[in-house]
Amino acid sequence: MKLARKITIALTLLAIAVMTALETLEVRRELDRSAIDMQHDHRLLGHTLAGSIARAWQEEGEAEALTLLEQANRFQAQVHLRWVWLDGAQGHTAPALSLALLRTLRGGQDGSMVDESPAGSGVLRSYTPVFINTHLGAIEISESLDEEHQHVRSTVQNAAIATCAIAVAFLLAAMAMGRRLVGRPVNQLVALAHRIGEGRLEERVHLRQNDELQTLATAMNRMAELLLTAREKIALETAAHLATLEHLRHADRLTTVGKLASGVAHEMGTPLNVVLGRSKMISSGEVVGDEVAECAQIISQQALHMTRIIRQLLDFARRRAPRRAPENIAQLVTHTLTLLRPLATKRSATLVSEVPDSLVLEVDSGQLQQVLTNLVMNGIHAMKRPGTLRVRAGPARAAPPTETGSVETEWIRLDVEDEGEGIRPEDLPHIFDPFFTTKDVGEGTGLGLSVSHGLVQDHGGWIAVRSEPGHGSCFSVYLPPGGHSCQAGS
Amino acid sequence: MKQPHPRADAPRLLLAEDDAEMRCMLSRALRRSGFHVTELRDGHETVSLLSHCVTQGPEQMPHLLISDVRMPGCTGLEVLAHLRRSHQRLPVILITSFGDEQTHEEARRLGAAQVIDKPFDLDELCAAAWTLVPAS
């Protein structure tokens, strides 16, 4: 139910209650006044007759006195007069009066009582005491209350009709007013709120009334205006923010391009210079005989070196999506270590695999082997003294780096741990940057770790590193555990 | 490979370059050009030799240093900084393939006579080297 209707009905019910109460009080007052008037009339009539009756009784006897009463009775249409003995004299039965009334009458005062009759509306009986010799009698004046009650009923009925009429009129007027003053403006305000909610901030509402709702409408209009201003401001700020971001991205791209260009220039500069110098020696005739062949061989070596760099660069740029298949990791590690063993032996490094035989993962075997090769080769290069390089694997709980989420879950971790020189703390943040290398010139291009990092990311994992300068490093490759089965131990 | 022999009064030149092929080729070209070349394989070796020369007296100091910027041990820029700390005004040519503006600026600040980007023409390097040695 709407608020205006609720208020209207509540007010109407209240008005009906108040009017009914007032009408009831008025009817009661009317009844009391009427009763007093009737009693007063009875008293007047009783006193008027009492003297004549007493005198007639004294002078002309009982029969004449009662005749006089009977005659007086004939002239009264509304009232009925009769003689009653109050002390039971002459063998008559005294009327059933209350002790209080009897006491009043015996004291010479007149009194009244209402004789309730089961059928009618009751009778008002008034008694005027008359002493005949030593006996107490009284003129009883009886008047039916039917007419009085009829009057009350009619009054109540009229009052009820008037109340109902007023209530209906009040209800209709209040509803019309409520709809006009409350319902319609509230609907307008609700519609405005909905439109603002839908983002139509240019909408306004205008109420032609001067009350609280009009104040609310003004406040809502002002709110919409402020929201519109704020939205325009946010739009401008967002555009500026996006422009800044785009600018930063562009700058970042330029920086990356610059870094790549510097890296390429650095890697290619020396071999190109050698090629240039040696070819000039040949063309100028500076070298002859076997020296020409020697120069040509050097040129060929440098060209191969540059080809290798370009191939790595292309691998870095043209990373293909991993083609996954269930792969036995122990076999893959063993195969990789077998290929690298000659290099390790040359550097007096021992390669050990501690990977469980049953570990199977959904990986691109070629790409994972490339990652392992890079990590193991880095480890071998880091070991200037004889030592052991271990490859381990197993389940581990870990949280991915913050940019990809931070919930700790189950992963498969492949550790490549060397006993080499370790990585300087200041170098650690850069080890995955393209072309960053701490190896001697010619030993590495600085692309291996960068490529490995990208390949592991393509598998949904990441590479973590911990290193203690002078004691060695451990590179941990985290891979999603999908499709693996692993037994404890190695 | 047969190396040309410079004259006894040829200007003394230190060549610091870690890449063996590059070092060999540069050394050959500079010797042919008329310098007495001492080859050095890394930054530490260069600093060590320069320190030794300083203690031996000015007559033992080389006339020119040509150094690669990026070398194991310490870089060409660090060698140059070491020289300046020793108050040696020895002219220095730095060669680099990592020729970003920062390297060039740092080299200029430390007083490098010239910074040459790789790849370069060997004759140009020799010509630049001759402009920096005293005409004796």
Pairing of strands A409-417, A472-479: antiparallel
What is the C-alpha end-to-end distance of chain A, expressed in Å? 76
Q: Token match 């002309």: residue? A: A60
Q: Please report which confidence band the pLDDT of residue A388 belongs to, taking 50, 70 and 90 as the band edges.
A: very high
Structure tokens at A87: 């002390």
Q: Which residues pair with A361 in a beta bridge?
A: A327
Q: Is the pLDDT of residue A89 over 70?
A: no
Q: Residue A101 contacts by C-beta under 8 Å, 6 or more apart in sequence? A: A111, A113, A127
Cβ-Cβ contacts under 8 Å, A277 against chain B: 25-26, 29, 122
Q: What percent of chain A has pLDDT over 70?
A: 92
Residue B32 C-alpha, separation from nearest chain A C-alpha, in angstroms = 10
Tell me which of A371 and A262 has the higher pLDDT.
A371
C-beta of residue A291 within 8 angstroms of C-beta of residue A278: no
Cβ-Cβ contacts under 8 Å, B96 against chain A: 269
Provide the pLDDT for residue A404. Answer: 52
Contact criterion met (CB < 8 Å) for A277 and B29? yes
Residue B120 C-alpha, separation from nearest chain A C-alpha, in angstroms = 6
Contact criterion met (CB < 8 Å) for B21 and A262? no
Cβ-Cβ contacts under 8 Å, B25 against chain A: 273-274, 277-278, 281
Closest by Cβ to B25, choosing from A268, A277, A442: A277
In this complex, how many residue pairs, one in chain A and one in chain B, have their CB atoms less than 8 Å apart? 64
Provide the pLDDT for residue A118. Answer: 64
Structure tokens at B5: 């022999």
Element holding A338 (H helix, E strand): helix A329-346
Q: Is the pLDDT of residue A191 over 50?
A: yes
Highest average pLDDT, of A243-247, A342-346, B126-130, comes from B126-130
Q: Which residue of A has its CA nearest to B21?
A: A274
Provide the pLDDT for residue B61. Answer: 87
Residue B4 C-alpha, separation from nearest chain A C-alpha, in angstroms = 11
Interval A460-482: pLDDT, tens: 899 999 998 888 999 999 999 87
Interval B8-52: pLDDT, tens: 778 999 999 998 999 999 999 999 999 999 999 999 999 999 988
Provide the pLDDT for residue A120. Answer: 65
Provide the pLDDT for residue A485. Answer: 41
Q: What ipTM was reported for this prediction?
A: 0.81
Residue B52 C-alpha, separation from nearest chain A C-alpha, in angstroms = 25
Element holding A3 (H helix, E strand): helix A3-60
Q: Is the pLDDT of residue A424 over 60?
A: yes
Cα A117 to Cα A93, A124, A145, A436, distances in angstroms:
20, 11, 10, 122
- Interval A39-60 mean pLDDT: 88
Instruction: Please return the burial class of A98, using the count of CB atoms within 10 Å of its CB with bins 0-12, 13-18 and 19+.
Output: exposed
Q: Which residue of A has its CA nearest to B73?
A: A440
Q: How far is CA A420 from the centre of its chain?
A: 58
Element holding A12 (H helix, E strand): helix A3-60
The amino acid at A25 = L
Q: What percent of chain A has pLDDT over 90?
A: 26
Cβ-Cβ contacts under 8 Å, A262 against chain B: 98, 100
Q: Is the pLDDT of residue B7 over 90?
A: no
Interval B84-108: pLDDT, tens: 888 778 899 999 886 678 888 999 9
CA distance linking residue A249 with residue A237, whole number of Å? 18
CA distance linking residue A441 with residue A121, whole number of Å? 131
> Best mutation site among A279, A294, A439, A441 for testing chain B: the one with the most B CBs within 10 Å?
A441
Residues of chain B that touch chain A, judged by Cβ-Cβ distance less than 8 Å: 1-2, 18-19, 21-22, 25-26, 28-29, 32, 70-72, 96-100, 117-122
Lowest average pLDDT, out of A115-129, A152-166, A207-221, A374-388, goes to A115-129
Residue A268 C-alpha, separation from nearest chain B C-alpha, in angstroms = 8
Contact criterion met (CB < 8 Å) for A265 and B97? yes
Provide the pLDDT for residue A489. Answer: 34
Q: Please report which confidence band the pLDDT of residue A342 belongs to, taking 50, 70 and 90 as the band edges.
A: confident
Tell me which of A105 and A487 has the higher pLDDT.
A105
Contact criterion met (CB < 8 Å) for B98 and A272? no
Contact criterion met (CB < 8 Å) for A266 and B25? no
Q: How far is CA A56 from the centre of its chain?
A: 100
Residues of chain A that touch chain B, judged by Cβ-Cβ distance less than 8 Å: 258, 262, 265-270, 272-278, 280-281, 286-287, 291, 294, 298, 301-302, 440-442
Contact criterion met (CB < 8 Å) for B118 and A272? yes
> Dihedral, CA atoms, B101, B104, B110, B116, nearest 10 degrees?
170
Q: Which residues pair with B66 in a beta bridge?
A: B15, B93
Nearest to A486 by CA among A388, A414, A406, A432: A414
Cβ-Cβ contacts under 8 Å, B2 against chain A: 291
Cβ-Cβ contacts under 8 Å, B21 against chain A: 270, 274, 298, 301-302
Closest by Cβ to B97, choosing from A269, A280, A281: A269
Pairing of strands B114-117, B92-96: parallel
Q: Is the pLDDT of residue A64 over 50?
A: yes
Q: Token match 């990789």: residue? A: A336
- Interval A291-299 mean pLDDT: 91
Pairing of strands A135-144, A79-85: antiparallel
- Interval B108-122 mean pLDDT: 91
Contact criterion met (CB < 8 Å) for B120 and A302? no
- Omega before residue A395 within 30° of 0, cis: no
Q: Please report which confidence band the pLDDT of residue A97 belongs to, taking 50, 70 and 90 as the band edges.
A: confident
